[in-house]
A and B are shown apart, each in its own frame.
Chain A
Amino acid sequence: MTDKAPIRLSTPLKKEEVLALQAGDRVLLTGVVYTARDVAHRRLVELLDRGLGLPMEIEGQVIYFAGPSPARPGQVTGSIGPTTSYRMDPYSPRLLEKGLRGMIGKGSRSRQVREALQRFGAVYLGATGGAGALLARAVESAEVIAFEDLGPEAIRRLRVRDFPAVVINDAHGRDLYEEGQARYRVEQAS
């Protein structure tokens, strides 16, 4: 990860802003992001397969792989950290093709997703897994906009301010996990 100051970004993201990001950059995201995880992704791609519209604008947008815990009275959300991203790998390229510009999650992505990031000029960001209480502080509002029947898996429109994330896969093929881990791997005699 780089030592330089975090890069402030506002959604929707412009392609040139995304192309300027490098693996390891820290970012602070402000604006609207949409939560969607397993079943919500399946449904979004089913809508596309049937030639129907999506329940939200996708061009330039950011999807956060997250399903919050219930909000207590007086709170806009419960804890809201990232879920593991690879489960969304079968669906993400379809959404990137439609103009999705960024994803926030945790964990490694498939080769197909990383190639799609390069092809369409998009970015995959990591938020700290297991820091859902901390990340909730960056959420200013949350509203269910689709698939309410899915409960925690429903699609929510979040308004975030200075949401902290790290560039894992940039639009140029770099991968923070591979680069960071190679620095600390100790080859074993066995």
Chain B
Amino acid sequence: MRQIQAEEITRAVKELCIEANYRLGEDVLAAIRRARRDEESAPARAVLAELEENAAIAAQGVFPLCQDTGFAVLFLELGQEVSVVGGGLEEALQEGVRAGYREGYLRKSICDPFTRKNTGDNTPAVVHVEIVPGDRLKIRMAPKGGGSENMSRVTMLTPAEGWEGVKRFVVQRVREAGPNPCPPIVVGVGVGGTFEKAALLAKKALLRPLGSRHADPDVAAREEELYREIQATGIGAAGYGGRFTTLGVHLEVFPCHIASLPVAVNINCHAARHKEVTL
């Protein structure tokens, strides 16, 4: 067994929280620049220019990209030959989030669902763990803003509704969300599995490098189709109208029950924040 110290995990998570909230990924920046180059709507182009400037200011390390520094969502790929020593894995992760949000001057946005009392340190983080072969630990951090998360949906279609039903649901969701989730948005779609699996697939789809196409050519073609239909909504940057409503559509697929066709749409704002590290 390879040993990893709990405090090394805490330190890594802390740094991921700060890094993700101050440094917009190159994949996202490139997508915003492309959209700005090709956008024909002047108001939308002006918004895209502001987003580039905003990213440059944030990169200086004083002001995070957005005041909504998100729910801390952590995806772990834990090698089965890894043993965490010097403390529990779960607490090491939560402590990393606590330290990252404190030391990074990030907003504490987590509260009790009924009393609305703030937990004060942005914990608990949502943690997803996958056990994989090997002796490494990969941690991916994706702070998720509330405005775009609120626009996300899961539905259980019937098999008869098929791909057309999936498209209708996804595009309708984007249309109804309109200007709310800070377009140009990134759209994560999960199809198949169970109720919760579809949602998880949609969220994981958002972690893929923006602009990447699915490895399966059939799925990639469906991504293209969704991309075209979403751009046709005309919502545009900030909802002011334009050709770029989305910066990218990522679709993840999983087998489902013969009775079901679960579909989840997880919408991300233009600040599609995600950072990763492997220990």
Question: Hey, which bits of chain A sit against chain B, CB under 8 A?
Answer: 1, 3, 24, 38-39, 66-72, 75, 78-81, 83-84, 86, 106-108, 126, 128-134, 136-137, 150-153, 166, 176-177, 179-188, 190
Contacts of B231 in A (CB 8 A): 186
With known contacts A129-B182, A180-B239, A78–B66 Cβ distance under 8 A = no
Instruction: Give chain A nearest CB distance to B147 CB in angstroms.
Output: 4
With known contacts A83-B68, A107-B178, A182-B241, A67–B41 Cβ distance under 8 A = no
The reply to whether B58 and A152 form a contact with Cβ atoms under 8 Å apart is no
From B46, B65, B180, B233, A79 is in contact (CB under 8 Å) with: B65
Q: Let me know if B238 is at the binding interface, CB within 8 A.
A: yes
Interface of B is mostly: loop
Contacts of B168 in A (CB 8 A): 190
Top 7 closest pairs, chain A to chain B, by CB? A180-B241, A184-B234, A185-B234, A133-B63, A1-B43, A107-B180, A129-B182
With known contacts A68-B67, A107-B180, A133-B58, A181–B241 Cβ distance under 8 A = yes
30 A-B pairs whose Cβ atoms sit less than 8 Å apart in the complex: A1-B240, A67-B68, A69-B63, A69-B64, A69-B106, A71-B105, A75-B63, A78-B64, A80-B67, A81-B67, A106-B238, A108-B179, A108-B180, A128-B47, A128-B51, A128-B238, A129-B238, A130-B54, A130-B182, A130-B270, A131-B53, A133-B58, A133-B62, A134-B50, A181-B178, A181-B241, A183-B234, A184-B41, A184-B234, A190-B168
Contacts of A106 in B (CB 8 A): 147, 179-180, 182, 238-239
Contacts of B105 in A (CB 8 A): 69-72, 78
From A131, A176, A181, A182, B54 is in contact (CB under 8 Å) with: A131
Question: Which of B252-267 touch A at CB < 8 Å?
Answer: none
Contacts of A86 in B (CB 8 A): 180
The reply to whether A70 and B107 form a contact with Cβ atoms under 8 Å apart is yes
Bound-state Cα–Cα, A79 to B64, Å: 6
Instruction: Give chain A nearest CB distance to B106 CB in angstroms.
Output: 6
Bound-state Cα–Cα, A113 to B105, Å: 34
The reply to whether B64 and A133 form a contact with Cβ atoms under 8 Å apart is yes
Instruction: Give chain A nearest CB distance to B217 CB in angstroms.
Output: 22
The reply to whether B239 and A131 form a contact with Cβ atoms under 8 Å apart is no
With known contacts A79-B65, A106-B179, A129–B234 Cβ distance under 8 A = no
The reply to whether B51 and A180 form a contact with Cβ atoms under 8 Å apart is no
Bound-state Cα–Cα, A190 to B66, Å: 37
CB nearest to B57 among chain A residues: A133
Q: Let me know if B242 is at the binding interface, CB within 8 A.
A: yes
Contacts of B270 in A (CB 8 A): 130
The reply to whether B178 and A180 form a contact with Cβ atoms under 8 Å apart is no
Bound-state Cα–Cα, A182 to B69, Å: 32
